[in-house]
Amino acid sequence: MIGAATRRGLLALAIPGCATAQPGMVTPPAAPGGGLHARAAAKGLAFGAATSTRQMAEPDLMAAFLADCGLLVAEYEMKWAELEPQPGNRRTRRADQLFDFARRNGMAVRGHTLLWHESEPRWLSDLSARGTAAAMAQHVDATVLCWRGQVTTWDVVNEAVAPEDGRPDFLRRTWLLNRIGPDYLPQAFHIARAADPNARLAYNDFGCEHATAWSRRRRLGVLGLLRGLRQAGAPVQVLGMQAHLQAGQPFEASEWRAFLADVAALGLTIEVTELDVNCRALPAAAGPRDAAAADLVRRFLDATLEEPAVRAVVTWGLTDRHSWIREGRLPEHRRRDTARARPLPYDDAMRRKPIWAAIAAALDAAPPRG
Catalytic residues: 159, 274
In the window 321-360, what residues touch ligand XIL (CB under 6 A)?
324
Residues paired with 314 in a beta bridge: 48
Given candidates 60, 75, 84, 276, which one binds ligand XIL under the rule CB under 6 A? 75
Q: Which residues of 27-65 are buried (b: 16+ CB within 10 A; e: fewer)?
A: bbeebeebbbbbbbeebebbbbbbbbbebbebbbbbbbb
154 binds ligand XIL per the rule CB under 6 A: no
Q: 58 or 75, CB closer to ligand XIL? A: 75
Site size for ligand XIL (CB under 6 A): 6
Q: Which of 115, 118, 138 is nearest to 203 (CA)?
A: 115
Cβ 38 to ligand XIL, closest distance in Å? 26
Cβ 274 to ligand XIL, closest distance in Å? 6
158 binds ligand XIL per the rule CB under 6 A: yes
* Distance between CA atoms of residues 273 and 315, nearest Å: 7
Collapsing DSSP to helix, strand or coil, 203 comes out as strand
Q: What does the DSSP assignment read for 115-170?
A: EEGGG--GGGGGS-HHHHHHHHHHHHHHHHHHTTTT-SEEEEEE--B-GGG--TT-
The dihedral region occupied by 320, where left means phi > 0, alpha psi between -120 and 50, and beta the remainder, is alpha
Cβ 366 to ligand XIL, closest distance in Å? 24
Nearest residue to ligand XIL, by Cβ distance, number only: 324
* Distance between CA atoms of residues 213 and 267, nearest Å: 26
Cβ 157 to ligand XIL, closest distance in Å? 11
Given candidates 215, 242, 278, 315, which one binds ligand XIL under the rule CB under 6 A? 242
Cβ 113 to ligand XIL, closest distance in Å? 6
Cβ 83 to ligand XIL, closest distance in Å? 14
Q: 348 or 364, CB closer to ligand XIL? A: 348
In the window 260-319, what residues touch ligand XIL (CB under 6 A)?
274
Q: Which of 217, 345, 249 is nearest to 290 (CA)?
A: 345
76 binds ligand XIL per the rule CB under 6 A: yes
Q: 152 or 273, CB closer to ligand XIL? A: 273
Map 85-127 to HEC letters: CECCECCCHHHHHHHHHHHHCCCEEEECCCEEHHHCCHHHHHC
Structural contact between residues 314 and 49, judged by C-beta atoms closer than 8 angstroms: yes
Binding-site ranges for ligand XIL (CB under 6 A): 75-76, 158, 242, 274, 324
